[in-house]
A and B are shown apart, each in its own frame.
Chain A
Amino acid sequence: MGVRATKHIMMAVKKMRSRLGLAWVVLSALVLFSGDVLAHGERAQLASMRMRTVHWFDTQVTPLQAKVGDTVTLTGKFIPSVYWPETLPSIAAMAFLNVGVPGPTFLRVHSEVNGVPMMRSTAFPLGKVYEYKVVMRARIPGRYHVHPLINVENAGSLIGKGTWLEIDKADTDAPFVNNATVLTGETVDLETYGLGGVIGWHLVWIAMGVAWLLFWLVRKELFIPRFMRIRALGADRANELLTKKDFVVSAMFFTLTLTIILTGYLWAEWKYPLTIPLQTGKVGVLGLDVPDGNLKIEVDSASYKLDGRSLTMHAKMTNNGERPLRIDEFITANIRFINPKVAEGKIVEGEEMVARNGLTVSVDVINPGETKDVVIVASDTLWEQYRMTGLIQDPDSRFAGLLFYGDDQGKRYYQEVGGSILPSYF
Chain B
Amino acid sequence: MSELQLEESRVKEAKEAKAQILDMESLNNPAAMKLYRRLDGILILVLFTFLTLGIQIQFTLTAGDWDYWVDWKDRRWWPLVTPLTLLMPIGAFTYGIWQRVRLPIMATALTTLLCLVAWGSHYLNFYKFTYFPLTFVFPATYIGVGILLDCALVMTRSLVVSAFIGAGLFGALVYPLNWPLIAAYRTAVEFNGTLLSLADLMGYEYIRTTTPEYLRIIESSTLRTFGGSVVPLTAVFAGFVSIVVYAIFLWVGSYVNKLVTFAKRIM
- A residues adjacent to B (C-beta < 8 A): 39, 94-96, 98-110, 117, 119-121, 136, 139-140, 149, 151, 153, 156-157, 178, 180-184, 188, 190-195, 197-199, 201-202, 205-206, 208-210, 212-213, 216-217, 220-232, 235, 238-239, 241-242, 246-247, 250-251, 253-254, 257-258, 260-262, 264-265, 267-269, 271-272, 274-280, 282
Contact = CB atoms under 8 A, between A and B. Distances in A.
Interface in B81-117: 99-105, 108-109, 111-112, 115-116
A380 to B, nearest CB: 28
A194 to B, nearest CB: 3
Contacts of A202: 115, 119, 138, 141, 181
Given A191-B135, A277-B219, A242 B180 contact: no
Nearest to B193: A117
Interface stretch (B5-13, B57-65, B196-204, B240-248): B196-204
A377 B200 CA distance: 48
A156 B211 CA distance: 10
Nearest to A112: B192
A250 B198 CA distance: 39
A261 B144 contact: yes
Interface of B is mostly: helix
Given A246-B154, A247-B155, A260-B144, A190 B184 contact: no
A419 to B, nearest CB: 31
B149 to A, nearest CB: 10
Contact of B201 (A190, A197, A206, A235): A190
B147 interface: yes
B157 interface: yes
Contact of A265 (B26, B119, B180, B219): B180
B132 A182 contact: no
A156 B161 CA distance: 47
Given A99-B207, A102-B131, 18 more contacts: A103-B132, A107-B206, A197-B180, A208-B143, A208-B147, A209-B115, A216-B103, A227-B101, A228-B27, A230-B101, A239-B102, A250-B151, A253-B147, A261-B173, A264-B180, A268-B183, A278-B186, A278-B197
Contacts of B155: 247, 250-251, 254
A268 B176 CA distance: 9
B209 A149 contact: yes
Contacts of A205: 115, 141, 143-144
Nearest to B228: A277
A308 B74 CA distance: 54
Interface string B132-169: 11111010010110111011101101000000000000
B207 A98 contact: yes
Contacts of B3: none
B99 A235 contact: yes
Contacts of A119: 191-192, 194, 196, 200, 204, 213
B197 A238 contact: no
Nearest to A253: B151
B189 A182 contact: yes
Contacts of A192: 133, 135
B111 to A, nearest CB: 7
B252 interface: no
Given A96-B214, A216-B103, A250-B154, A209 B147 contact: yes
A267 B182 CA distance: 12
B141 A278 contact: no
A95 B215 CA distance: 10
Nearest to B47: A223
B212 A275 contact: no
Contacts, number: 296
B207 A224 contact: no
B108 A280 contact: no
A401 B197 CA distance: 41
Contacts of A246: 154
A103 B130 contact: yes
Contacts of B103: 216-217, 226
Contacts of A224: 36, 39-40
A68 to B, nearest CB: 12
A190 B102 contact: no
Contacts of B43: 223
Contacts of A96: 212-214
A279 B198 contact: no
B20 A181 contact: no
A87 B230 CA distance: 38
B186 A258 contact: no
Nearest to A205: B143
A117 B192 contact: yes
A99 B207 CA distance: 7
Contacts of A178: 133, 205
Nearest to A178: B205
Contacts of A239: 102, 157
B179 A264 contact: yes
A280 B144 contact: no
A151 B184 contact: no
Given A103-B130, A193-B135, A230-B101, A213 B112 contact: yes
15 contacts: A98-B207, A104-B130, A120-B194, A151-B210, A202-B119, A206-B112, A206-B115, A209-B111, A217-B105, A228-B27, A230-B102, A247-B155, A251-B151, A264-B179, A278-B73
A401 to B, nearest CB: 25
Please list the 5 inter-chain residue pairs (A to B) with the smallest Cβ-Cβ separation, ordered nearest first: A194-B184, A209-B112, A96-B212, A151-B212, A275-B186
Contact of B157 (A190, A230, A242): A242
